Amino acid sequence: MDEFSASAYPARVALGRKPLGVIGSAMTARRNVLELIPEIATRQPMVSGKTGKRWHMVMDPAALRIVLKDKVDDYPKSLVTRLILEPAIGQSLFVAEGAHWRWQRRAAAPAFAQRNVEALAPVMTAAAEASVRRLAAATGPVDLFAETVAATFEVISDVTFSGDEGFDRQAVHQAIEAYISGTARLSVMDILGLPGWIPRPGRLTAGRDLRRMKRVADDAIGARARSGPREVPDLLDLLRAGSDPETHRVMSAAELRDNLLTFIVAGHETTALTLAWALYLLAFDPEVQNRAAIEARTVLGARAATAADVPHLIYVRQIVEETLRLYPPAAFLSRTSRIYDSLGGREVHPGDTIMLPVYALHRHHLLWDDPDRFDPDRFAPGIVRDRYAFLPFGAGPRICIGASFSLQEAVIILATLLARLRFDLTARHPEPRMILTLRPHGGVWLAVKTR
């Protein structure tokens, strides 16, 4: 039986074992970006090569600290990242660099202060209760990825626009799905390192969906400007009120729109993926699921989880973190070097592509014991590890601004589901594939029963 069969380890990507070349790399990347990672990357701190351009895969925590923290301005987001994301989210926080990024980050930071994240928790609790009702009524296997996408999109649209009737959720959701599936893929031109002004044919067809998505967001922002803030401020209100404390600059309507769309895309997709993969892992390991269900029922009883429960759901939080290790949504990042440097003993030139294969880092044999095994106790209280060995939300000054929001939402929804429902594997197993995020190809089909 294969070493990574379902009887021993949960689903994993078959990493590369031979050079692919330019065309092979492009074809592989369109199917699954993670298959570009050589298997040796899980056993060595650095891997370098040339496929059109010089590149370096970095799995060494000390080198990652240099890229993500010590010299962050010398390693901006790569051209490929900008080509994929700018048409959808403009020069928002995720894409912007330097001073333009810094003032936006300072202006947006108060919106994601812990007190505001906790104030938004009732929306997460309501979404968890609705998800339980839908799943309890199911009569056959359920695609849990479709369900978690529905639940987290309900959360992010409510906390962003307070459930405004004028906000067309379905239009935005369809536009996001169409953009990710149709245009957020590497092309041969990307692999060759051709300049951004050369059109990528696959990305020329997304204009209509993107224009519709932006128009819906613009209309909602305009309506809020006319009606004024809500009694309990939502994310739109908080961002409209935010300003850079150093320059006093506030976001324009277009900057508000692009950042809100960034949070909508990232805020529901990443948490939905974490929940779907977590439920798959719990079905894969019934003992872990039973332990988590006991904790959830002990803390919650018959009610849904709230923000006040999160500190007490210790094992559920461990499961979320172990899921983020095995299946990080942002599983492959890239930067471009602006300088001559040395990373992990390798010489880096200006223009070199610096790849951060988070998937390989989280399964590295020098950093994790039996790294392909599912073991939430890796994250038990008191365990210490290198900060740059675990990067589900990045690190340094550009760490994901919504990390605490996502973790709170994942714990609230997962604990509520586990307290009331049981999840079992079916014959259909998910296949980890990354386009823009690490998704379960084919869905996560599980049998669901009430406890």
3-state secondary structure of 183: helix
| C-alpha–C-alpha distance, residues 277 and 127, integer Å | 18
**Residues contributing to the annotated binding site for heme:** 400
3-state secondary structure of 327: coil
Which three-class secondary structure string do you get for 263-281? Answer: HHHHHHHHHHHHHHHHHHH
Beta bridge partners of 189: none
Which region holds residue 113: left if phi is over 0, alpha if psi is between -120 and 50, else beta? beta
What are the phi and psi torsion angles at 369 (to 5°)? Answer: -80, 125
| C-alpha–C-alpha distance, residues 85 and 75, integer Å | 18
Catalytic residue among 112, 284, 332, 393: 393
Q: From the CB of residue 377, how many other CB atoms can be counted at a distance below 10 Å?
A: 10
Q: Count Cα neighbours of 323 within 13 Å in the Cβ-side half-sphere.
A: 32
| C-alpha–C-alpha distance, residues 348 and 48, integer Å | 10
What burial class does residue 96 get, using C-beta atoms within 10 Å of its C-beta: 0-12 exposed, 13-18 middle, 19+ buried? buried
Catalytic residue among 400, 405, 423, 437: 400
Buried b (16+ CB within 10 A) or exposed e, 392-407: bbbbbebebbbebbbb
User: For this structure, is 400 an active site residue?
Assistant: yes
User: For this structure, is 94 an active site residue?
Assistant: no
| C-alpha–C-alpha distance, residues 83 and 79, integer Å | 6
| C-alpha–C-alpha distance, residues 267 and 114, integer Å | 16
Asked whether the beta carbons of 275 and 414 are under 8 A apart, the reply is yes
Catalytic residue among 270, 306, 353, 437: 270
User: For this structure, is 270 an active site residue?
Assistant: yes
3-state secondary structure of 218: helix
Catalytic residue list: 270, 393, 400
